[in-house]
A and B are shown apart, each in its own frame.
Chain A
Amino acid sequence: MKRFVLFLPLIFFIGLGIFLYKGLFLNPKAMPSALEGHPVPAFKLLTVTKGDRVVTKADLIGDYYLLNVWATWCAACKAEHPYLLDIASSGVSIYGVNYRDELAAAQDWLTRYQDPYQFSAFDVDGKFGLNLGVYGAPETYLVDHLGIIRLRYAGVVDTRSWKSDFLPLITQIKAEIAASKSL
């Protein structure tokens, strides 16, 4: 017993070491989103490419869809763009939120790099972004068939994050849809 007590500091030290070592590999940007589990906030905005068309929350349709916050001033968005095109061509609906951008630059971007979005809401003053809890770009939200935000992903969506973060949730949403239909 006495011997065991002597080892306590060592055990404590190892425990602390493991705890702190794990901390080295945490992503400080990965913050819990306050909006996960809540519906998409309402909005009423013009779009980047569709002229006078006004879009609202009702225009976001699909069994599940992505809401991607982007801007031409955001370098990481450019890196993300090809991957969004891939996702869109695989049949996933992506709606864009053009966050605090210039209209001409945004239009130019979509013609030059192709347009993966069903439409891009033109959120010039960042109001919708603010209601979404956006603090930068790119950010991507996964929304389910009930219009509930299931995932908020800050940073570049790529093959790895798509597989590890999005796909499992999409499978789950599909299962939920199937379950609700069979009822």
Chain B
Amino acid sequence: MKILLIMVTLLAAIVSEDSLAVDTYKFSKPQYEARFHALNKILRCPKCQNQNLADSNSMISQDLRKEVFRMMEEGRSDAQIVEFMVMRYGDFVLYKPKVDNVTYFLWYGPIGFGVFGFALLFIVVMRQRGKKSNQTVVKGSDELSAQEQQALDNILKNNK
């Protein structure tokens, strides 16, 4: 049984290796290759949505990789290539969203929540401390003053 399992796994590995038609590119300059891979990592595959160009083997990713390669060989800059993609596929194609009006909340929301939470915590703690110090003052004298006794009587009366 175990051997069968291993065989199946190996076979699956071979098949998937085969079906992953790895496209090979010949770069005219060695630094292009590094840039090519870096770009493929930050560009999202529009079809598969949760993979970048480097990970995805869908048709559209193959096309887009080819396009990245072509533009790079034409000597275009990274910014120009990214702009080309955004022109066609929108900001969605960027894995790291731009900071603009629409994405402010996305970028700074978590920080805002954190600040808000800590502020709330701070206020609560400070209040609690204030109460405690009041209590110690009360503890100092066991007897109620006349005024306090009066207030207590009022409360009890009202509760009835």
Cβ-based interface call for A35 (8 A): yes
In contact, A28 and B49 (Cβ under 8 angstroms): yes
Enumerate chain B residues within 8 angstroms of A100, measured Cβ to Cβ.
59
Contact B88 A130 (CB under 8 A): yes
Which DSSP category, helix, strand, loop or mixed, fits chain B's interface?
helix
Please give the residue numbers on chain A whose beta carbons come within 8 Å of chain B beta carbons, in ascending order: 28, 31-35, 100, 125-126, 129-136
Query: Which residues of chain B have C-beta atoms less than 8 A from A133's C-beta?
Result: 46, 88-90
Interface size bracket, B side: 10 to 19
The segment from B14-22, B60-68, B128-136, B145-153 that touches chain A is: B60-68
Establish whether residues A34 and B59, one from each chain, have CB atoms under 8 Å apart when the complex forms: no
Question: Which of B45, B47, B49, B88 lies in contact with A131, CB distance below 8 A?
Answer: B88
- Determine which residue in A28, A126, A133, A135 has the highest number of CB atoms from chain B within 10 A of its CB, and name it: A135
Contact residues of B with A, CB < 8 Å? Answer: 45-47, 49, 59-60, 63-64, 67, 86-90, 92
Query: Residues of A contacting B88 with CB < 8 Å?
Result: 34-35, 130-133
Q: Would A135 and B60 count as touching, CB distance under 8 A?
A: yes
A-B pairs with beta carbons under 8 Å apart, 14 shown: A28-B49, A31-B46, A31-B92, A32-B92, A34-B86, A34-B88, A34-B89, A126-B63, A130-B64, A130-B67, A133-B46, A133-B90, A135-B46, A136-B47
Residue contact A126 to B49, C-beta cutoff 8 Å: no
| Chain B residues whose CB sits within 8 angstroms of the CB of A131 once the complex forms | 88
Q: Which residue of A lies closest to B86 (CB)?
A: A34
Tell me the bound Cα distance from A34 to B85 in angstroms.
10
Query: Which of A33, A125, A129, A132 contacts B90, CB < 8 Å?
Result: A33
Contacting residues, chain A, for B49 (C-beta < 8 A):
28
Q: A130-B63, A130-B64 are in contact. Are A135 and B47 (CB under 8 A)?
A: yes
Separation of A51 and B60 alpha carbons in the complex (Å): 27
